[in-house]
Amino acid sequence: MRGQINLKDTIMNCLEKIRNNLRLTFDEAVSLYDLDLLTLGELADAKRQALHGKRTYFNINRHINPTNVCKDVCKFCAYSASRKNPNPYTMSHEEILAITDDIVSRGISEVHIVSAHNPDTGLEWYLEVFRKIKARHPQLHIKALTAAEVHFLAEEYHKSYDDILDLMVANGVDSMPGGGAEIFDEKVRDYICKGKVNSHQWLEIHRKWHERGMKSNVTMLFGHVEERSHRIDHFFRIRDLQDVTGGFNCFIPLVYQTQNNFLNVKASITAHEILKTMAISRIVLDNVPNLKAYWVTSTVNLALLAQEYGANDLDGTIEKESINSAAGAKSAYGVDLQEFVGLIKNSGFEPIERDSLYNTLKVW
């Protein structure tokens, strides 16, 4: 009985602090999972409305995943060439440029280039393709190279993070995606992706990127072997860095996909748990302006519902995606623009087409 009373007091204190825009302690944030889903939704929606009203952002973008050959072996990954995916490939520069020529001809303003850690497609291979894209399409925003890729290239070529980041800027990269964050707890990280960039290195790379006046995103992979407290720890580390740099545009919770990988998680995380996690992230991350419901990993329908639980961004049309679809996500060929806009409108929100830095391009 005493435990129940203490929990009730904690919850009541949390509600008061949230409504007064006060930050929660770590234990208080963990206790938010004990709230019912609708209450969490109301709290997160109030935060969303204060920031964005009924506006829901998206962009018209194209993902390019140049190679699936990877020196790292992450247990959650179904994309890299392995026993689960025995079909290695590496695109040529000409193939990548043909895609960028096509998307620019159709008015697409962003290309998102994320890849595996391929020792044969080296640093200069990336820098050269960035230069070629910018020479042909200077207006095209290049979002490229996760912190995991930066770490890989720095180690492979005996360079510092500063060296790699300066080369990225000099050769045309406009912003960094948020991939490779996975989950920051090191014990979990050692189990799911040992040998990859660690949490401190990931955060340090983004700190250095922000210090150059550049923007990036930040992700969290959840729904595998982590605990709720690990997610809260992840949020707090993001918030701490954002207090210092202000460089994160968007937080993107990524739902773990269960197929074709070595974690062998049998049951997918529930929609109920996904929405709770979305809502809590919106409440805790008071200094990150945008929360993305990445439909690629959550499905379009759940992403639309997440608009009621704090999310104000649904990513984009994408056109083609290889990494998550390899693990079972229904995202291989993107989603039609008119359908996407219609779905947002029909869910009671206002579709806002944005550029990569959240400038409004068109109100639909």
- Full DSSP string of 114-132: -----TTS-HHHHHHHHHH
For residues 161 and 181, membership in a common domain is answered with yes
Q: Higher confidence at residue 280 or residue 326?
A: 280
pLDDT band at 91 (very low <50, low <70, confident <90, very high): very high
Kindly report the average pLDDT of the chain as a whole number: 90
For residues 221 and 333, membership in a common domain is answered with yes
For residues 17 and 57, membership in a common domain is answered with no
Task: For the chain, give the percent of residues with pLDDT over 70.
Answer: 90
For residues 72 and 18, membership in a common domain is answered with no
For residues 130 and 42, membership in a common domain is answered with yes
Distance CA 95, CA 66 (A): 9
323 has pLDDT over 70: no
Which of 292, 203, 288 has the alpha carbon at shortest distance from 255? 292
Question: DSSP secondary-structure letter at 67?
Answer: B
pLDDT band at 331 (very low <50, low <70, confident <90, very high): very low
Q: Is 312 helix (H, G, I), strand (E, B) or coil?
A: coil
Average pLDDT over residues 59-72: 86
| Number of domains composing the chain | 2
Distance CA 362, CA 288 (A): 23
For residues 269 and 285, membership in a common domain is answered with yes
Instruction: Name residues whose C-beta falls within 8 Å of residue 89's C-beta, 6 or more positions apart in sequence.
Output: 67, 68, 69, 81
For residues 25 and 64, membership in a common domain is answered with no
For residues 258 and 289, membership in a common domain is answered with yes
Residue written as token pair 């247990």: 75
For residues 14 and 67, membership in a common domain is answered with no
Q: Higher confidence at residue 345 or residue 2?
A: 345
Per-residue model confidence (pLDDT) at position 194 = 87
332 has pLDDT over 80: no
- 12-59: per-residue pLDDT in tens? 899 999 999 999 999 999 999 999 999 999 999 999 999 999 999 998
Instruction: Name residues whose C-beta falls within 8 Å of residue 16's C-beta, 6 or more positions apart in sequence.
Output: none
Q: What is the CATH number of the domain that holds 301?
A: 3.20.20.70
Per-residue model confidence (pLDDT) at position 148 = 95
Distance CA 117, CA 184 (A): 20
Per-residue model confidence (pLDDT) at position 78 = 67
Residue written as token pair 């679809």: 325
For residues 3 and 140, membership in a common domain is answered with no
- Torsion of Cα atoms, 340 then 346 then 347 then 348, to 10°: 120
- Full DSSP string of 163-213: HHHHHHHHTT--BB--TT-----HHHHHHHHTTS--HHHHHHHHHHHHHTT
Terminal C-alpha separation, the chain: 53
Average pLDDT over residues 298-322: 84
Which of 143, 93, 87 has the alpha carbon at shortest distance from 113? 143
**DSSP β-bridge partners for residue 59:** 316
Average pLDDT over residues 289-298: 91
Phi/psi for 120 (5° steps) reads -85, -25
For residues 147 and 249, membership in a common domain is answered with yes
For residues 1 and 52, membership in a common domain is answered with no
Pairing verdict, β 61-64 and 55-59: unpaired
Distance CA 214, CA 324 (A): 26
Per-residue model confidence (pLDDT) at position 321 = 42
| pTM for this model (two decimals) | 0.91
Domain that holds residue 178: 37-363
Question: DSSP secondary-structure letter at 79?
Answer: S
pLDDT band at 320 (very low <50, low <70, confident <90, very high): low
- 112-143: per-residue pLDDT in tens? 999 888 888 889 999 999 999 999 999 999 99
- 255-278: per-residue pLDDT in tens? 998 776 778 787 889 999 999 999
Distance CA 175, CA 214 (A): 6
pLDDT band at 84 (very low <50, low <70, confident <90, very high): low
Per-residue model confidence (pLDDT) at position 268 = 86
Per-residue model confidence (pLDDT) at position 83 = 56
